[in-house]
Amino acid sequence: MALEFHSVTKRFTDNSGTSLTAVQDVSFDVQEGEFVSVVGPSGCGKSTILSMTAGLYQPSEGKVLVSGEPVEGPNSHVGFMLQKDLLLPWRNIVTNIEFGLEARGMGRADRRERAMAELRHCQLDGFENHYPHQLSGGMRQRAALARTLAIDPEIILLDEPFSALDAQTKLLLQNSFAGTIAETGKTTLLITHDLGEAVLMSDRILVLSERPGSIVAEIKVDLPHRDQPLKRRVMPEVGEY
């Protein structure tokens, strides 16, 4: 199993010493290669679930396992991107994508080759020498996905990656991300408050209650032709962009 939550509860203590339960007794697992969404109202603990998967927070109770191993801290098995992913403004797109590879000590030529391949994969060919401010919001999110995929994580975590985008760009990116990720076959956990987005993109949806978030429903998405690239399947009128 790629990801397992076993009866996970997470409490935070604020400055005044008051304890708040963000996530309550959450158990689920995600299979290798599966695309699962977590939906729920604002403040119900979705990002907390992502942070525990990424090793940024430890559960107060219960266990989080990635590939059967407890998550003990931030690690290279898990790649994540956020609503407004910070590309480094002083680096061009290709060197932004290379950033994590540099940190892992990959040589210059290999790093460039990997970054360029990921750039093409995320439909950013020709933009390698542009700087983040020269790209649209949607393209910046694609660059952030390319950077996440470049490190070849076992699990991809996406936290509301489209919520800062306009409706049209959002729809385009929901489709292109689903297609790009399906091609990698990587296990993915998408956090969103948008049930429509979850239905469009995932194999399975976990629905959380209001805070403290606990799983109140599980929806298996069984769209026809799930293995077809979403772009062609759902919105043929959009075409390439």
Site of interaction with ligand ADP (CB under 6 A): 12, 14, 20, 22, 40, 42-48, 211
State the amino acid at position 82 in one-letter form. Answer: L
Virtual torsion, Cα 97, 103, 109, 112, nearest 10 deg: 0
Contact 163, 84 (CB under 8 A): no
Give how many residues touch Mg ion by CB under 5 A.
2
CB closer to Mg ion out of 23 and 94:
23
Closest C-alpha among 86, 75, 22 to residue 49? 22
Pairing relation of β-strands 215-220 and 204-208? antiparallel
Residue 133 tokens read as 């401010």
CB closer to Mg ion out of 12 and 241:
12
The distance of closest approach from Cβ of residue 82 to Mg ion in the complex, given in angstroms and rounded to an integer, is 9
Chosen from ligand ADP, Mg ion, none, partner binding at 103 (C-beta under 5 to 8 Å by type): none
Give the residues across from 212 on adjacent strands: none
Contact positions with Mg ion (CB under 5 A) in 40-79:
46-47
CB closer to ligand ADP out of 180 and 214:
214
The distance of closest approach from Cβ of residue 119 to ligand ADP in the complex, given in angstroms and rounded to an integer, is 30
The distance of closest approach from Cβ of residue 107 to ligand ADP in the complex, given in angstroms and rounded to an integer, is 38
CB closer to ligand ADP out of 54 and 93:
54
Contact positions with Mg ion (CB under 5 A) in 185-204:
none
Peptide bond into 161 cis (omega under 30): no
Q: Whole-angstrom Cα distance, residue 166 to residue 13?
A: 36
CB closer to ligand ADP out of 58 and 228:
58
H helices present in 28-89, as ranges: 46-54
Closest C-alpha among 110, 82, 105, 86 to residue 96? 86
CB closer to ligand ADP out of 14 and 240:
14
Q: Whole-angstrom Cα distance, residue 137 to residue 141?
A: 6
The distance of closest approach from Cβ of residue 114 to Mg ion in the complex, given in angstroms and rounded to an integer, is 30
Contact 132, 143 (CB under 8 A): yes
The distance of closest approach from Cβ of residue 160 to ligand ADP in the complex, given in angstroms and rounded to an integer, is 8
The distance of closest approach from Cβ of residue 156 to ligand ADP in the complex, given in angstroms and rounded to an integer, is 17
Chosen from Mg ion, ligand ADP, none, partner binding at 42 (C-beta under 5 to 8 Å by type): ligand ADP
The distance of closest approach from Cβ of residue 20 to ligand ADP in the complex, given in angstroms and rounded to an integer, is 6
Chosen from ligand ADP, Mg ion, none, partner binding at 211 (C-beta under 5 to 8 Å by type): ligand ADP
In 88-214, at which residue ranges do the beta strands (DSSP E only) sit?
155-159, 187-192, 204-208
CB closer to Mg ion out of 46 and 121:
46
The 8-class DSSP code of residue 81 comes to E
**Residues of the shown chain interacting with Mg ion in the complex, contacts defined by CB under 5 A:** 46-47
